[in-house]
Amino acid sequence: MRILLFGLLIFTLSSCVDIFDEIILHADGSGTYKYTINMSASKVKINSILALDSVDGKRVPKLPEIKEKIELYRSKLEEKEGISNVKVEANYDDFIFKISCNFDNVTDLQNGILEIVKEESKDKNDPAFDENWLSWDGKTLIRTTPNFQSVIRKLKAEDQEKLKEGKYISVSRFDKTVTKCDNGQAQISPTKTAVLIKSSTYSVATNPSALKNTITVAN
Amino acid sequence: MKIKVLIPITLLGTFSWGQKSEDIIPKDAVTVFSLNNISILQKVSMDELVSYDFMTELQSELFDGSTQGKTLKDAGIDFNQKMNIFYGKNSEFEISGFTFGITDKNKLFDVFDDFDRMESLVPGTEYYNNYFNHLMIQGNVGLLIRVDTDQEKLTEITDSIWVARGFELPWSSEDEYYDEEMDHYDNEIPIDDPAMNEDGDEVEEIIEEDVEETPPAVDEMNDMFKNYYELRDSIESEYSHKRLLLITEEIFVKKQNLKAIDPRLANQLTHTSDGIFYLDNSRNFKNTNSLFYLQAAFPDLYRDLNDLYTGNVVLGDIVLNQKTIDLKIEANYGERLGSIYQELNSAKFDKNVLKYIPKNNTGFFTYQINLKKGYEKAYQVIMPILSDEKDARISANVLTIELLNDFINTDEVFNTYKGSMFGTFNGIKRVKTKRIEFFYDEETFEYGEKEIEAEEDMPIFTLGFTTARPDIPNKILKHMSRITSQFKNMGDYWVYEDAILNSIPLYMINKNGLFIFTNDEDLAKNHSNGYGTESLTGKLVKNAAKSGSIYGYINLGDMINRLPESILNDHRFNVLASMRGKKGEIEVISSKTTRQKTTYNLTYSFDGTFDNAGKYLLDLVNTAYLVSTKR
């Protein structure tokens, strides 16, 4: 899967990655999704790798190629049904990438992302395409993360170790009050309208249930 | 009648058996390593031998398990003869291999057990083949060789035949080409080693190309026609075979070999050192594909430039001692090129550089040249060659150079940049950088960003240039500081923020007739006038001052094993990896340059004694091979 391989490239280029993901869900099921990747802690390493032709037998893409690829994914996502206002902010000095979009419902968001992954994938029957990461029935949001275990296994032990230093923060926001959530690591904000889970990037990538959470809001 | 037949047979037999391994080195070899004292290789296992890069061209046979647990001694190799490793490339083809003496053919084929006996290519030789590798035996010497047709030439021939037959080239669709390009960074670069799979397991060499998406020449049902890649394979096979036949005839019938046609190699082979090497740079120059246009468009100019490079040969000796390995390298050149080098290398040693080399450095070099004298000599030698050319473009270029030479104050140009320089490697230090950290509000869970200080491991380098006009770099730096706040004048030094890898500052010191770049904050802030009592003293200083144009010193244990891999490309990494684990010191001293040659003496002194001298010798050959082939 190319997008997953692109993910591998991100992990390879930068062993220490902070990720901040946020979903804002309105009562009608529409909302906004934000995904921010911060690789500034590894910018020296990324810059030194980008200066090379290849690392460990893998060709290192040039910066214009990375920019082109990001723009390609942005425009593809923009075209997906139920998704609008796709924005990408890329800071190539500190290697911070912010992606955000609006969605009509969480199914459109998940399908849009899955369709792009599938379009880019050589293996159209990958079981990962059947995974359900998001569902919302008007009262309960069920969240999980894609399985990156196979990608992580390809990393060197030292890079895997570095990945453990990276933070992963996942936030879900609602118009209504949160009544309960089932992930033991989750914190509910004092305003009771947001739920946060803090983990390491390594844990999230290797354990798909690390961020798994069923959040129920008041009627 | 019988006598008439017997005489030539007897003579042929005597001649063949009197033949030495060095008499069958192909004349197209450009690089040759000849190991005289190969008895020291007796302890080297075959598995170790075939793992060297210089053996990779021949490895398909040698990685098949037949070498397991065996040494060279078990392979029927004659240790009283030299082993000669060679490599050559020109615009037509590439050859690689080695020649050796044989004592026991049965033992030899216990190791080379996948070679099949074929019909002899030329009378008086035995021919064995395994895929791309060819083994020729005549008398008691063997030649193991691989011949590959130049890929550019091969593509050119295949394309022309393919298009002449009325077919489109497989990559004629721009979209397909674009997609393939974009896909590259998703896919691993094919592993160079065809005998290993992704997991590092040994596999049979794959000789078939992927033809899945290749457009067929005609209806796929008609198997009388080949697709593009099949046609290419056929042409490659035919060309390589014809070339092999030519080389075999030259060596074994016409007795044309490199030693016979190049007296410099012949003379070098008479040396009693443990090993010798030979690198014909003039043929490297002539065989460069990029000069094809020059050769076609300006044949006279090409000939003159060729003449200039004639005689440009590097010869060397390797001597193994109890605690050192000595390399004596002679860079030879023709009279005219030599006259330029002689002027260029006539600079005096600049003692100021010693102030900036710390005692505790892990490696440094000094390089002194007189760029002004070199420029004047080059102008005198090269301009007449260019002026003779009648072509309008070259004539215009000659006029431009002459006018620039007249109008520009070259004295001041070469006062600013005199040509001499020095460099040091001071190990790895933690340097300060900045990074962005995410934080979130405990009340709202909104996230924010803040810049914080961080530290990174960084190799510390210093590079300095001799200048007699410090005001010129100062003018440039002042200008830079006006247009960007990243350039700052700190009094004793200048700083350029985030200059290295977009993260680390670069410091510039413009004092004592030197313009110095460094990423060493300590040098800039605390030692802008030099290290004082902490600077280099003793034998190394004397050696550097006495040396010709180049002096170099490396503490291997400190430097090679600590240099970060991530700053190296694959080729440099391979060179470095080939030297990993070594301890000791390397010192390079050059002689004064004459019109004929410059001599370099490289001494590699190591801690303790070597358990296996052969392995050290092969390590050195391998490093030299990697450097010379520039893969």
Contact A14, A44 (CB under 8 A): no
Q: Tell me whether A88 touches chain B (CB under 8 Å).
A: no
> Which residues of B lie inside 8 Å of A (Cβ-Cβ)?
182-189, 191, 433, 435-438, 440, 443-445, 447, 449, 454, 456, 458, 498, 501-504, 564, 566-570
Amino acid at residue number B215:
P
Of the residues B429, B437, B445, B568, the best mutation for testing chain A's interface (the one with the most A CB atoms within 10 Å of its CB) is B445
Closest CA in chain A for residue B458: A44
Q: Tell me whether A190 touches chain B (CB under 8 Å).
A: yes
Instruction: Using CB atoms, pick whichever of A6, A93, A196 lies closest to residue B502.
Output: A93
Helix ranges (DSSP H) in B310-455: 335-344, 352-355, 371-387, 392-407, 410-416
> For A50, what's the count of Cα atoms within 13 Å in the CB-facing half-sphere?
19
Place of tokens 């060729």: B306
How far is Cα A63 from Cα B134, in angstroms, rounded to an integer? 45
Cβ contact B447–A65 (<8 Å) = no
Contact B573, B584 (CB under 8 A): no
Instruction: Give the pLDDT of residue A144.
Output: 83
B622, pLDDT greater than 90: no
Contact B436, B477 (CB under 8 A): no
Distances (CA, A) of A165 to A162, A199, A203: 5, 10, 10
How far is Cα B507 from Cα B586, in angstroms, rounded to an integer? 29
Mean pLDDT value across residues B415-424:
92
Top-confidence residue, A123 or B340: B340
Closest-CA distance, B555 to chain A, in angstroms, reads 24
How far is Cα A5 from Cα B591, in angstroms, rounded to an integer? 53
Of the residues B432, B457, B486, B501, the best mutation for testing chain A's interface (the one with the most A CB atoms within 10 Å of its CB) is B501
Instruction: Using CB atoms, pick whichever of A9, A20, A53 lies closest to residue B438.
Output: A20
Strands A167-174 and A18-25: parallel
Strands A54-55 and A58-59: antiparallel
Nearest to B101 by CA among B117, B85, B83, B113: B83
How far is Cα A78 from Cα B306, in angstroms, rounded to an integer? 60
Instruction: Give the pLDDT of residue A51.
Output: 79
Closest-CA distance, A97 to chain B, in angstroms, reads 12
Chain B residue numbers touching A159 (CB-CB < 8 A): none
Instruction: Using CB atoms, pick whichever of A20, A48, A189 lies closest to residue B567.
Output: A48
Instruction: Give the pLDDT of residue B2.
Output: 42
How far is Cα A49 from Cα B604, in angstroms, rounded to an integer? 32
How far is Cα B274 from Cα B317, in angstroms, rounded to an integer? 7
Nearest to B71 by CA among B105, B49, B101, B46: B46
Of the residues A43, A63, A69, A195, the best mutation for testing chain B's interface (the one with the most B CB atoms within 10 Å of its CB) is A43
How far is Cα B504 from Cα B215, in angstroms, rounded to an integer? 51
Instruction: Give the pLDDT of residue B177.
Output: 39
Q: Which residues pair with A172 in a beta bridge?
A: A23, A195
B231's tokens: 């046609």
Whole-complex ipTM: 0.81
DSSP 8-class letter at B219:
-
B223, pLDDT greater than 60: no
φ, ψ for residue B535 (rounded to 5)? -85, 165
Mean pLDDT value across residues B491-495:
95
Q: Which helix (H) or strand (E) holds B559?
A: helix B556-559
Beta carbons within 8 Å of B366's beta carbon, 6+ residues apart: B349, B350, B353, B420, B421, B422, B544, B547, B550, B551, B552
How far is Cα B214 from Cα B220, in angstroms, rounded to an integer? 11
Instruction: Give the pLDDT of residue A15.
Output: 55
Instruction: Give the pLDDT of residue A204.
Output: 81
End-to-end CA distance of chain B: 57
Mean pLDDT value across residues B340-366:
91
Alpha-carbon Rg of chain A, whole angstroms? 17
Q: How many CB atoms lie within 10 A of CB B239?
A: 19
Which of B13-27, B119-133, B200-214, B355-369 shows the lowest per-residue confidence on average (mean pLDDT)? B200-214
Q: For residue B246, how far is the Cα from the chain centroid?
A: 28
Q: Tell me whether A169 touches chain B (CB under 8 Å).
A: yes
Q: Which residues pair with A102 in a beta bridge?
A: A32, A84
Instruction: Using CB atoms, pick whichever of B184, B191, B566 lies closest to residue A57.
Output: B191
Instruction: Using CB atoms, pick whichever of B185, B438, B564 lies closest to residue A18.
Output: B438
User: What is the per-residue pLDDT across B554-586, written as a single tens digit (0 to 9) for each?
Assistant: 887 776 666 655 555 555 555 556 555 566 788
Question: Of how many residues is chain A composed?
Answer: 219
Contact B602, B588 (CB under 8 A): yes
Instruction: Give the pLDDT of residue B416.
Output: 92
Top-confidence residue, B83 or B198: B83
Cβ contact A52–B569 (<8 Å) = yes
Mean pLDDT value across residues B537-543:
90
User: What is the per-residue pLDDT across A185-210, written as a single tens digit (0 to 9) for each?
Assistant: 999 999 999 999 998 888 887 787 88
Place of tokens 């440094």: B364
Cβ contact B182–A69 (<8 Å) = yes
For chain B, give the mean pLDDT.
79
Amino acid at residue number B486:
Q
Contact A74, A90 (CB under 8 A): no
How far is Cα B242 from Cα B148, in angstroms, rounded to an integer? 11
Instruction: Give the pLDDT of residue B348.
Output: 87
Closest CA in chain A for residue B178: A65
Determine what percent of chain B falls in helix, strand and coil, rounding each to the nearest 5: 40, 25, 35
**DSSP-based three-state secondary structure for A92:** coil
How far is Cα B266 from Cα A65, in angstroms, rounded to an integer? 52
Cβ contact B185–A45 (<8 Å) = no
Distances (CA, A) of B405 to B376, B400, B401: 10, 8, 6
Closest CA in chain B for residue A2: B186
Instruction: Give the pLDDT of residue B113.
Output: 78
Cβ contact A52–B568 (<8 Å) = yes
B470, pLDDT greater than 90: yes
**Which 121-160 residues of chain A touch chain B by CB within 8 A?**
none
Q: How many CB atoms lie within 10 A of CB B428?
A: 15
Contact B622, B579 (CB under 8 A): no
Chain B residue numbers touching A36 (CB-CB < 8 A): 438, 447
Nearest to B506 by CA among B454, B466, B460, B471: B460
How far is Cα A36 from Cα B439, in angstroms, rounded to an integer? 12
Spans of chain A, pLDDT less than 50? 1-14
Contact B508, B517 (CB under 8 A): yes
Instruction: Give the pLDDT of residue B365.
Output: 94
Mean pLDDT value across residues B400-421:
91
User: What is the per-residue pLDDT across B53-111, written as a single tens digit (0 to 9) for each?
Assistant: 766 655 544 545 556 666 666 778 888 889 899 999 888 899 999 899 998 888 888 87
How far is Cα B57 from Cα B574, in angstroms, rounded to an integer? 16
Beta carbons within 8 Å of B424's beta carbon, 6+ residues apart: B356, B357, B358, B361, B363, B364, B461, B462
Positive/negative CA dihedral, B304, B306, B309, B310: negative
Distances (CA, A) of A8 to A12, A17, B231, B547, B609: 6, 12, 38, 50, 45
Cβ contact A191–B443 (<8 Å) = yes
Closest CA in chain B for residue A36: B438
To 10 degrees, what angle do helices B174-183 and A63-79 make?
110
B202, pLDDT greater than 60: no
Closest CA in chain B for residue A171: B445
Instruction: Give the pLDDT of residue A52.
Output: 76
- Sheet containing A213-217: give its strands across: A134-136, A140-143, A213-217, A178-181
Closest CA in chain A for residue B456: A44
Q: Tell me whether A52 touches chain B (CB under 8 Å).
A: yes
How far is Cα B127 from Cα B112, in angstroms, rounded to an integer? 13
Chain A residue numbers touching B428 (CB-CB < 8 A): none
Contact A170, A21 (CB under 8 A): yes
Cβ contact A47–B185 (<8 Å) = no
How far is Cα B88 from Cα B100, in angstroms, rounded to an integer? 18
Percent of chain B with pLDDT over 90: 34
Q: Which helix (H) or strand (E) holds A10?
A: helix A2-13
Instruction: Give the pLDDT of residue B627.
Output: 64
How far is Cα A119 from Cα A100, in angstroms, rounded to an integer? 21
Of the residues B178, B187, B438, the best mutation for testing chain A's interface (the one with the most A CB atoms within 10 Å of its CB) is B438
**DSSP-based three-state secondary structure for A41:** helix
B12, pLDDT greater than 50: no
Instruction: Give the pLDDT of residue B475.
Output: 95
Chain A residue numbers touching B439 (CB-CB < 8 A): none
Place of tokens 């909104």: B446
Nearest to B523 by CA among B454, B433, B424: B424
How far is Cα B1 from Cα B336, in angstroms, rounded to an integer? 59
Q: For residue B617, how far is the Cα from the chain centroid?
A: 18
**DSSP-based three-state secondary structure for B78:** coil
Contact B278, B314 (CB under 8 A): yes
Mean pLDDT value across residues B354-374:
92
Contact B105, B84 (CB under 8 A): no
Closest-CA distance, A49 to chain B, in angstroms, reads 6
